[in-house]
Structure 1
Amino acid sequence: MQTEMRDLARKAVEQNLGLPSRYFALFHRWFWFGIPGFGSVMAILWLMVAKPL
C-alpha cells in the first residue's frame, strides 16, 4: 500500500495535479490496518514489562 501511495504522490507532483481518490482510499485502509498493529505492539510491550505469567 505504501509503495502505491508513494507512486501516486510522485505522479501527482510530476503532473502538478492533486492527489487522486485512490490515494485517499489507500490511506484509509493503511490507517485502519495500523490500529491492530499498534495495539499488538503495545500488548507485547506490556507482556514484557508486567510479566503476568
Structure 2
Amino acid sequence: MDAKEVVCFCKKVTYGDLQKAIENGAKTFDSVQEVTKVSTGCKKCTDKAKALVSELLAK
C-alpha cells in the first residue's frame, strides 16, 4: 500500500501515518489511534484501519 493512501478521510490519516506511529513505538491499535486519531470521526474506516495496524504490527 502506498504511504500516501488515505485510510481515514475524516481525520486525513494516511497509511504512512500508521506506519510512522508504529515505528515510533505504538504497539496496539488503541495506541496508534491515540497518536493518529484514525477512526475517531465517523468510524467507517475502523475495520480497515484495525486490519492495517495488525498487519503492520506483525512485520
Quickly name the TM-score band, shorter chain normalised: 0.3 to 0.5
Larger strand share, 1 or 2: 2
Structure having the higher Rg? 1
TM-score computed with the length of structure 1 as normaliser: 0.35
Larger helix share, 1 or 2: 1
